[in-house]
Structure 1
């Protein structure tokens, strides 16, 4: 089926009490495995191209690849620009057919973040594309610290930007390789009290699976971004394939061997949010 927008999958998720996986893609093999996993679970999926992926492969290629996967899929697929740096980034994604863009203005002063996010949301909506924004800073494991989302600022951000989804910082951290202490549910509930915009958790790999499932069913979190957890599954599968045949050299054959394990890992992620 054709690509769908972020709003088209998050609206039903919010209404019916589940969340959708935003899976971080780095190439053809993992993106294809994620769509197959979504089909097996009969669930929508959000394919995401972040800054690292865009540095590795040009954005028109990502757009064409995501569209091809969506058109052959039996479930809704969103093509999402993750962590767009500026309006030009988002405009480039819209031009090549992405159905959703995220502008990350989280490090900006509040007024600047609101103004720039609002302009990008207006541009996206004029093109029939969804827009995600971020308020509060989500840090990195072993790197930049997080700054938790202020609920009052989140309410203002949602009202004044017109975003379709809002990423928040409530104890989540990027690049965690194991489950952390869990999300700050008191802060989350305070944010929910001031807005009805679907919420997004970046760094979802570090959220304990039981809490991920509980919040997917019982909160306004409608999208969990999952990257590290699946990249680790890919790395393990790749090492296993090479260990099993040390003489292997054919790139296609080697990478094809990663798809079944990666699909299985992605099915567990998707099923855990339903």
Structure 2
């Protein structure tokens, strides 16, 4: 069942749970995530990041993820993750993505608001939801040009009100692509952001780097969406390497991927359960 963020996040923001947004790096991972969601009767978000879009192309990624969503028995949003170019976002909308993220976090506030609003105006006409970012969530690796700037609550208020976004990603100590859960969450800052922008669903990127007890605490408030990528890549890579080393004479890709996907599905189930998105 194909949906957008507006059909998932407001209820999560007002409830005691959150929706996991899984970055997908191939059909096999997407299939495993959908299987996990269906087994738990839980909604999920399938996301394509910049690397996947550059590797496969917008249309091919959209076809793959939309097909998985349309055939699913549970609500699934197909989301384009951090994207800096409006042209790519507009193409993604017309290719079938039901949600997009325009990332203007590296721009001055006025430019971020203006450009995000332009995307929102087009997206809402097509019934596509939009996520924006205020502040800047740093990367542990792979995006050296991305600065680390915690979200300013007053700027968050302006951004939420003037851009028209449906969800707002914030920086409160979370970091992209951490291999271990050692982020230090600034709860005082989160409280200030929530007070200034009380009506918009909030988003956390860099979930693998956040402790489980922090995720439990965060989902009880306005955090309605957690982006997950690194832990799935870890499970996939480590187990695929182990399985191939255990049977060095075998070489068939489908044989090994079928075995490895059971571990990806188990990790997806763990994350869904942690966020209590089951029994939607």
Flag whether TM exceeds 0.5 (same fold): yes
Q: Does structure 2 conserve the Cα–Cα contact (< 8 Å) formed by 1:237 and 1:262?
A: no
Matched, 1:210 2:213: yes
Query: TM-score, structure 2 length as denominator?
Result: 0.95
1:197 counterpart residue number: 200
Deviations 1:3-58 (A, max 9, x none): 10011110221222210001011100111111111112211100000001111111
1:78 counterpart residue number: 77
2:19 counterpart residue number: 20
Superposed CA RMSD: 1.1
2:183 and 2:251 map into 1 onto residues whose CA distance is 42
Shift of residue 252 of structure 1? 1.6
1:114 counterpart residue number: 113
Shift of residue 123 of structure 1? 0.7
Matched, 1:46 2:45: yes
Q: Does structure 1 conserve the Cα–Cα contact (< 8 Å) formed by 2:79 and 2:99?
A: yes
Matched, 1:166 2:168: yes
Q: Out of 156, 159, 171, which is 2:158 matched to?
A: 156
**Alignment gaps of 5+ in structure 1:** none
| 1:113 partner SS | helix
1:122 and 1:101 map into 2 onto residues whose CA distance is 13
Deviations 1:155-211 (A, max 9, x none): 000000010000000000011000114311111110000111000011111010111
Q: Does structure 2 conserve the Cα–Cα contact (< 8 Å) formed by 1:180 and 1:208?
A: yes
Shift of residue 89 of structure 1? 1.2
| 2:139 partner SS | coil
1:223 counterpart residue number: 225
Shift of residue 264 of structure 1? 0.2
1:248 counterpart residue number: 250
2:76 and 2:185 map into 1 onto residues whose CA distance is 27
| 2:127 partner SS | coil
The runs of at least 4 aligned residues of structure 1 exceeding 2 Å deviation read 142-145
**Alignment gaps of 5+ in structure 2:** none
